[in-house]
Each structure stands twice: as structure tokens, then as C-alpha cells.
Amino acid sequence: MDTITLNNGIPMPMLGFGTFLMNGAQCEESVLAALRSGYRMIDTAEAYGNEEAVGRAIAKSNVPRQELFLVTKVNFRSYENARETVKTSLKKLGTDYLDLVLLHWPFGNYYAAWRELEQMYREGTLRAIGVSNFEPDRLIDLIEFNEIAPAVNQIETHLLCQRRAEREWLEKYHVRHMAYAPLGQGRRNEMFEAPALVEVAKAHGKTPAQTALRFLMQSGVAVIPKSVHEERIRENFDLFDFALTAEEMERLTELDAAAPMIGTPEDPALVEAAMKW
Ligand SMILES: NC(=O)c1ccc[n+]([C@@H]2O[C@H](COP(=O)([O-])OP(=O)(O)OC[C@H]3O[C@@H](n4cnc5c(N)ncnc54)[C@H](OP(=O)(O)O)[C@@H]3O)[C@@H](O)[C@H]2O)c1
């Protein structure tokens, strides 16, 4: 497994397993399949309501805890109560420490939550702390007015929305870029059918999905694809036996339409929707 070093020196896998919209037995089976396939980083969240199922899969897998890199997120509705929320996540996941805890969205009192995460980091309960869905302005503000800088910003990123401008800011502030929805949530046929992607994939005997994930990893972006199908879970892990050429990387870079599907916290429609979450 390729890893990337976080700003506090700890290595993080470049490839992990996403668990959004998975629950109960399906989540447990999918996470078990992922662990069997070799994934060691698992991404969950308080808001997904599946931390217990992820915990059950981990327990059943018999993978030693120290081999895993567990990521969860505190929902913005819990920001005034972040310590208790993280403690509940620990219990549900069946562990006494977490590798990375993120603030899920920059809504509400995220400064209060950040300071609590900083404290839990100092205490050793959290090996790294970070954020998600932060645009550069809020990220820089958080860095400048707190003691510990986020190690990671997890943001929507895929071939059609590569976040290159955001990545420059992340690099400048030593925050690692983690892509969520790296396969466009399976909703972007125009991505999987783009001639450039199909051709590059064919040249390597790989699928468009594998090539899209490889492109992000080769750009220095960690990816957490999700699937509930074992075959796809394995397919999405099989990314380490090929490399794209500089010319292929350039071709795929040109697919960037800089258009997020989910929106950003600056988008009033998204904020309005979030208030109902
Ligand atoms: N921080 C945030 O706000 C945030 C937001 C969204 C997601 N996330 C995290 O990021 C993870 C990944 O994002 P995501 O789940 O939204 O979307 P995604 O990983 O981009 O796409 C998942 C979709 O693609 C399909 N798929 C998976 N592998 C495929 C393949 N090889 N070929 C074709 N289709 C394939 C899946 O279908 P099947 O399952 O039917 O195979 C599913 O419908 C999440 O699971 C979650 O952990 C974070």
C-alpha cells in the first residue's frame, strides 16, 4: 500500500474504503470484503449511522488494530459536544483510539469542536485531526487562529472536479488532500465514458474506474471509493500494478470541469439543505 506522510509525520494509506449510504448487514459485509481485499483505511462518520456495523466488521476480520487506519467525522450538529461524540464513535467502532477524526462540514461552532479535537490529539486518543468540505478561506482561518493545523481536508474530488486551485492552497499549508466521491458517486456517466479516460484505461488493460482512481493517487490525492459489490471492491483496490505516463496525466487533467456535484459550503442551496440534516 502506498502511503502519504501527514503534517505530524504519521503515514496514511493513499487508498481507503468509503462507507457512505451503507448500513447494517450490508455495511458489515462490504467492510469485511474490503478488509479481505487488502484495504486498511476505512472512512466512516457519525452522520452515516454505520459506525457500529463498521466496528463489527473490524472485529470479525481479525485484522490487528495497529494495521488499520480508521477515519471518522463529527457531524456539525455535535460540534458543541465533540468530546462525547468522539467517545461514542470510539465505543461503536470498538477501539480506544482513532487514526483520523474530521470535522464533517464548516457549519456551526466548528472552532469549539476543533479545540476539543486538538485536546484529544494531545491526549493521544486521536493520532491525527482534520477537516472536510472546507474551502481555502475557512481552512486558512482555522489554521491561523488555532494551535494545530488540520492534517487532511476531505473534499469532493474526481476527474470532473479535480480541485487543482484548492490543492495549491492545501499544499502551501501542508494539509493533505483526500478525495471523497472519487468515482463521482457512480452518477457521472460522462466521466466513465469520456473518450480520453476509456482510451487511457484500455492502454493499461484497466477499467475507467481504476484509471480515474489511479489518476488521483498519482496527483498526490488519497482516495476512498465506496462499493457494496465485492467484485468492484476488489477492482477499486487493484491500482498498484500500473502507472500513468506524464502525457496520460495531462490528457486526464483536461477533463476537469471544476464542477462539484455536492456543492460547497458557500452555496446557499447547500447550506439550506444542510440545515435539515
Ligand atoms: N466528507 C463528506 O462530506 C463526504 C461526502 C460523500 C462521501 N464521503 C466519503 O467518500 C466515500 C466515497 O464517496 P461516495 O461513496 O459518495 O462515492 P464514490 O466512491 O465516488 O462512488 C460510489 C458509487 O460508485 C459505484 N461504484 C463503485 N465502484 C465502481 C466501479 N468500479 N465501477 C463503476 N461504479 C462503481 C458504487 O456502486 P455500488 O456500491 O453499487 O458498487 C456507488 O454507487 C464515501 O463512501 C464516504 O466515505 C464523504
The values of phi and psi at residue 176, to 5°, are -80, 145
**1 pLDDT above the threshold of 90:** no
Counting beta carbons within 10 angstroms of the beta carbon of residue 254, is it exposed (0 to 12), middle (13 to 18) or buried (19 or more)?
Answer: exposed
Q: Which helix (H) or strand (E) holds 74?
A: strand 69-74
Q: How far is the CA of 19 from the centre of ligand 1 (A)?
A: 8
- Amino acid 134: pLDDT: 97
The residue from 39, 48, 121, 180 that is catalytic is 48
**Residue 103 pairs with which residues in a beta bridge?**
74, 131
**183 pLDDT above the threshold of 90:** yes
Nearest CA to ligand 1 atom 11: 18
Q: Which atom of ligand 1 is nearest to the CA of 207?
A: 31
Residues 6+ apart with CB under 8 A from 103: 73, 74, 76, 79, 110, 113, 114, 117, 130, 131, 132, 134
How distant, in Å, are the alpha carbons of 35, 209, 210, 236, 276 from that of 232? 13, 9, 10, 6, 32
- Amino acid 149: pLDDT: 98
- Amino acid 272: pLDDT: 86
pLDDT band at 115, cuts 50/70/90? very high
29 lines ligand 1 (CB under 6 A): no
**264 pLDDT above the threshold of 90:** no
**206 pLDDT above the threshold of 90:** yes
DSSP state of 210: H
- Amino acid 267: pLDDT: 87
Question: To test ligand 1's pocket by mutation, which of 93, 180, 211, 224 has the most ligand atoms within 8 angstroms of CB?
Answer: 180
229 lines ligand 1 (CB under 6 A): yes
Nearest CA to ligand 1 atom 5: 180
C-alpha 124 chain-centroid distance: 22
Residues 6+ apart with CB under 8 A from 250: none
Is residue 48 annotated as a catalytic residue, yes or no? yes
Nearest CA to ligand 1 atom 19: 225
Whether 53 and 22 have beta carbons less than 8 Å apart is answered as: yes
When comparing pLDDT for 275 and 49, which is higher?
A: 49
Q: How confident is the model over 99-114, as a mean pLDDT?
A: 97
Q: How far is the CA of 188 from the centre of ligand 1 (A)?
A: 11
Q: 163: number of CA atoms within 13 Å, CB side?
A: 30
- Amino acid 240: pLDDT: 97
Q: How confident is the model over 53-64, as a mean pLDDT?
A: 98
Residues 6+ apart with CB under 8 A from 123: none
pLDDT band at 117, cuts 50/70/90? very high
Tens of pLDDT, residues 215-253: 999 999 999 999 999 999 999 999 999 999 999 999 999
Nearest CA to ligand 1 atom 39: 227
Q: Which helix (H) or strand (E) holds 153?
A: strand 152-156
Burial 49-83 (b: 16+ CB within 10 A, else e): ebbbbbbbbbeebebeeeebbbbbbbbbbbbeebe
Side by side, the strands of the sheet bearing 41-43 are: 16-18, 41-43, 69-74, 100-103, 129-132, 152-156, 176-180, 222-223
- Amino acid 268: pLDDT: 87
181 lines ligand 1 (CB under 6 A): yes
pLDDT band at 168, cuts 50/70/90? very high
Q: Which atom of ligand 1 is nearest to the CA of 229?
A: 41
Nearest CA to ligand 1 atom 27: 227
Cα(247)–Cα(199) distance, rounded to whole angstroms? Answer: 13
Q: How far is the CA of 145 from the centre of ligand 1 (A)?
A: 33
Tens of pLDDT, residues 8-42: 999 999 999 999 999 999 999 999 999 999 999 99
**84 pLDDT above the threshold of 90:** yes
- Amino acid 211: pLDDT: 98
pLDDT band at 263, cuts 50/70/90? confident
Alpha helices in 47-135 (DSSP H): 51-61, 82-93, 110-123
- Amino acid 28: pLDDT: 98
